[in-house]
Chain A
């Protein structure tokens, strides 16, 4: 008897919800990058609390995963916005077009610095990108000067560069699935590899081999994949003063009492240095909105408005409190204008 009622109730629930499922959605559905997530959520919460609209729902799916969901089609069952810690790729754009997602608004929101940091218990590191490349690449150029590669022999930072302290190379960083890792190898490792003449020359001759040399991180234990949880890396740095961690600027910002940023190419990773572009390792952050959903999902244009307002992404805006590096004035103005006019993304 009880079971029968339960089964009936279950059937009823499924039937009812299946019926209402495809009807309208009254909240904004956002997916995408876990790097943008901490910033987008702040905007969403602010938006939810200061307007009569519901708070947008934000899923942290990663940039690629977000694009896939975003480009799947137009309609309430698909997300309205995807966040990305890189620009949309041509292949993704084409997929979008193929699925009817033709009108896309691209908004650059600011920058995220990638920092190397160690515990405050030891002294700050002064590194160049070339040092980092030589310390972390799987294969490095033969020190004798010949144009060939040898497996990375460096055990200590001193081996890499006599000016550096004699401590073991131990770098805690994100796994290959992470956007931070992509940015790290692209901006730091490749930036360091390029400093070596013949490797730079390879870029023109054999781009694939060039990428392979620059982007392959050593696997002998000097680089430790520490998972996606940056808080964990902070804790591990605290426990091991010799180790260096790689993560987004916001974590350094929030934990400046226990860890310190390493100086890269002579620049300290401060808010100002990243903002004016002196600090060499930063990447732009974006979101992409589906224009077809404006008017279909309540609050979408208001949300775009909130995100692109000075009080959010301005130099004194609440996003900077969270460690996002704002764009320069002129760029902000242009982006704001793009949002107002809903400029169509073309590739």
Chain B
């Protein structure tokens, strides 16, 4: 009887076993499918962005011969000399056949308006050049640049493209003479915003993001960690702390623009901080990221086994020492994860910054926390909204910079987390 029972039991187990393995396989396949789907979407995103954006890392330059005559350049008044005139004269010299106002205007349009500024900088830096004839590579205008990158097709009828037939002839000639070439686009990494695609750069927005996130991190991490520690380790559990907890959880779900309104009311209108500065941006983003950090921090603290606390208390550590020496280091990886999620959110945020004036055209690269500045996602938004075609590739390139920034930030966080991670 007993043996019978166990035989039946074994058979049942065998039967069930097959089912269990099947279920396991199904589940694994499902998981794999989910991972592959997610990865392929990510790949599509990255590929489409980088295929559109990589061209922005190159810029077309044109070589000009510019005679620097004493008549035009007065050493005493270099700031007010007619540099655009010099550039134009040089172009006319290169193409002496071009006549007529309209065509001349087109000719001048081959090079960027930035050419004159570069010339100016060069001469002011070295006034001894005056009297000589210098040759100089200057950025081509955005249309020429687009044409060189193949983004303006040659084979459509003339009135359907922004580069006309005679301009193509000039570009062909320049190419023959090896006076036009594509180079690495350093301007993109050294300049602030500009309305000319070929002169615009990401540095202003990048600095703005760095300043803003620095403030955010500096404030939100200590405050968030301290709040989490207090609520989790010290606060009595009563209806007040429950209320606080509910409120914090709610705050995490509040639309970010609300924090912008709050920041506008408190920091700008009440405390009188200036608009459009990273300091205020950082403060607003701190408000926004705090709930995330607090919630993640509390979860991390909860996950620390109570036996560690008992061990510390048992050898006579004070509650403060217990937390600082034992609990916090163990919760740190989790807290860092929460912080990095919060910071990544903050990095991608534009809505609250709109309210405090960080959605703005700012050319000068900010040098401090109180210089007007914008941030990477805002720059992306502004460029995406610009009519000039050249900004399309810059938009994608700016997204790439944002992603690299994000990856760097994550990498640092993972590195820190690895250092803190210990087994128990």
Contacts and interface: CB of A to CB of B under 8 A. Distances in A.
A260 to B, nearest CB: 9
Contacts of B279: 13-14, 17
Interface string A1-32: 00100110110011001101110010101010
B273 A21 contact: yes
A45 interface: yes
A312 B379 CA distance: 25
Contact of B195 (A9, A13, A41, A59): A41
A233 to B, nearest CB: 11
B359 interface: yes
A55 B364 contact: yes
Contacts of A7: 222
3 interchain residue pairs of minimum CB distance: A55-B363, A58-B361, A59-B360
B274 A323 contact: no
A9 B218 contact: yes
A250 B387 contact: yes
A48 B363 contact: yes
Interface string B101-139: 000010000000100010000000000000000000000
Interface stretch (B26-34, B156-164, B341-349): B156-164
Interface of A: 3, 6-7, 9-10, 13-14, 17-18, 20-22, 25, 27, 29, 31, 37-38, 40-42, 44-46, 48-49, 52, 54-55, 57-60, 77, 120, 228-231, 248, 250-251, 253-257, 316, 318, 322-323
Contacts of B359: 59-60
Nearest to A75: B272
Interface residues of B, number: 47
A241 to B, nearest CB: 15
A122 to B, nearest CB: 14
Contacts of B218: 6, 9-10, 13
A231 B392 contact: yes
Contacts of A251: 387
B386 A21 contact: no
A43 B152 CA distance: 27
B265 to A, nearest CB: 13
Interface residue SS majority, chain A: helix
A10 B218 CA distance: 7
Interface in B1-47: none
Secondary structure of the B side of the interface?
loop
A25 B357 CA distance: 15
Contacts of B152: 257
Given A7-B222, A13-B215, A55-B364, 15 more contacts: A6-B221, A9-B218, A13-B218, A17-B369, A21-B271, A38-B387, A40-B361, A48-B363, A57-B360, A60-B361, A60-B382, A77-B268, A77-B274, A255-B389, A322-B195
Interface string B270-290: 011111110100000000000
A17 B211 CA distance: 14
Contacts of A256: 159-160, 162
Contact of A27 (B156, B161, B372, B385): B372
Contacts of A17: 273, 277, 279, 369-370
B78 interface: no
Contact of A37 (B161, B222, B361): B361
Contacts of B49: none
A58 B359 CA distance: 9
Given A6-B218, A57-B362, A42 B195 contact: yes
Contacts of B113: 46, 318
Contacts of B276: 57, 59
B388 interface: yes
B194 interface: yes
B400 interface: no
B222 A6 contact: yes
Contacts of A257: 152, 156, 160-162
A21 B272 contact: yes
Contacts of B162: 254, 256-257
A322 B194 CA distance: 13
Contact of A254 (B159, B357, B389): B389
Q: Which of A7, A248, A316 has the most CB of B within 10 A?
A: A7
B210 interface: no
**B79, B279, B359 — most chain A CB neighbours (10 Å):** B279
Given A255-B389, A256-B160, A57 B372 contact: yes
A230 B363 contact: no
A278 to B, nearest CB: 20
Contacts of A52: 79
Contacts of A31: 357
B78 to A, nearest CB: 12
A18 B273 contact: yes
B222 A59 contact: no
Nearest to A39: B195
Interface string B364-387: 100001101000000000101111
B374 to A, nearest CB: 9
A253 B143 CA distance: 13
B144 to A, nearest CB: 14
A229 B271 contact: no
**Looking at B117, B218, B359, B361, which has the most chain A CB atoms within 10 Å of its CB?**
B361
Interface string B222-241: 10011000000000000000
